[in-house]
A and B are shown apart, each in its own frame.
Chain A
Amino acid sequence: MHRYSQRFSIYRILQVTPNTFHNPDHDYYVQSKGHCAEALRSVVLADCGYFPPSDLDTLNHFNSHYIGHPTRKVNGVEQNTGALNGHGLAFGVGGGTGRQARSKGLSGFHSAWRRRTRWRVPIGKPG
């Protein structure tokens, strides 16, 4: 574990682990360029321990969550991205604004990053 993520990725400095990922106040990484999903999942997320590396064997299989773009069905992925045009920046601005509002004691600004169902199986419905 951490053989590659700590050497080659932004995760070497992010304050987030698989254990803190579902808490609201960790560092968020949103990847605009969805075509790099394989690198994000294999080099980073599997290496960090967000899911078993064997899940990657289902890549591009029918009904697999491991498709050609990042999707929140994969543990560790913050947002579905890949529409290009840097739309991860818009997600980041929304999340940053929400965190800023929470730090001022305002409520109702956390929906942008709210966790949905936790998916634990590589193919099919939530486990």
Chain B
Amino acid sequence: MTAAHYRLDNLVAIVDRNGLQITGSTEDVVQLEPLEEKFEAFGFAVRRCDGNDIADLGTDVRGCAIYAGETELGFWRKTRKGKGISFMDNVAKWHHGVP
């Protein structure tokens, strides 16, 4: 609300939407969806990118500078926690675990 009120064009919010929190799936604990529409309702210009590919994120960030005249910028990252690590991939307990 504050960011939209002041029309901050120097703020980028990166949402790592991996779907997990410390006790399990975010949708099982307290539903977040539709999160994209919620960010838009608060004045964010939401863009999606592949959060597991940092190069894709970089492209999006640079591209969004074009839209810097708008209210503010938000990014919607679709990620998988622990991606590529067999025993951690999308397992909630590794939110806070140490191998």
The answer to whether A and B assemble together is yes
| Chain A interface residues toward B at CB < 8 A | 7-10, 12-13, 33, 35, 89, 92-93, 96-97, 99-100
Query: Given A35-B96, A97-B6, are A10 and B57 also a contact pair (CB < 8 Å)?
Result: yes
Tell me the minimal C-beta distance from B82 to chain A in angstroms.
12
| B8 A8 Cβ-Cβ under 8 A | no
Residues 1-40 (chain B) with a chain A CB within 8 angstroms: 2-3, 6, 8, 10-11, 13-14, 16
**A-B residue pairs in contact (CB < 8 Å), sample of 28:** A7-B54, A8-B54, A9-B54, A10-B14, A10-B54, A10-B57, A12-B54, A13-B58, A13-B61, A13-B62, A33-B16, A35-B95, A35-B96, A89-B13, A92-B11, A92-B13, A93-B3, A93-B8, A96-B3, A96-B8, A96-B10, A96-B11, A97-B2, A97-B6, A97-B8, A99-B10, A100-B6, A100-B8
Which residue from chain B places its CB closest to the CB of A32 in the assembled complex? Answer: B16
Which residue from chain A places its CB closest to the CB of B59 in the assembled complex? Answer: A13
Tell me the minimal C-beta distance from A64 to chain B in angstroms.
16
A-B interface pairs (CB < 8 A), number: 34
Q: Give the CA-CA distance A53 to B11 in the complex, in Å.
A: 30
| Main secondary structure on A side of the interface with B | helix
Q: Give the CA-CA distance A9 to B8 in the complex, in Å.
A: 24
Tell me the minimal C-beta distance from B48 to chain A in angstroms.
16
Which residue from chain A places its CB closest to the CB of B21 in the assembled complex? Answer: A84
| B58 A12 Cβ-Cβ under 8 A | yes
**Residues on A with beta carbons closer than 8 Å to the beta carbon of B13:** 89, 92
Q: Give the CA-CA distance A92 to B8 in the complex, in Å.
A: 10
Tell me the minimal C-beta distance from B79 to chain A in angstroms.
12
Which residue from chain B places its CB closest to the CB of A36 in the assembled complex? Answer: B16
Q: Give the CA-CA distance A90 to B85 in the complex, in Å.
A: 32
**Residues on B with beta carbons closer than 8 Å to the beta carbon of A9:** 54
**Residues on A with beta carbons closer than 8 Å to the beta carbon of B62:** 13
**Residues on B with beta carbons closer than 8 Å to the beta carbon of A89:** 13
Tell me the minimal C-beta distance from B78 to chain A in angstroms.
16
Tell me the minimal C-beta distance from B2 to chain A in angstroms.
5
Q: Give the CA-CA distance A9 to B11 in the complex, in Å.
A: 18
Q: Give the CA-CA distance A93 to B61 in the complex, in Å.
A: 18
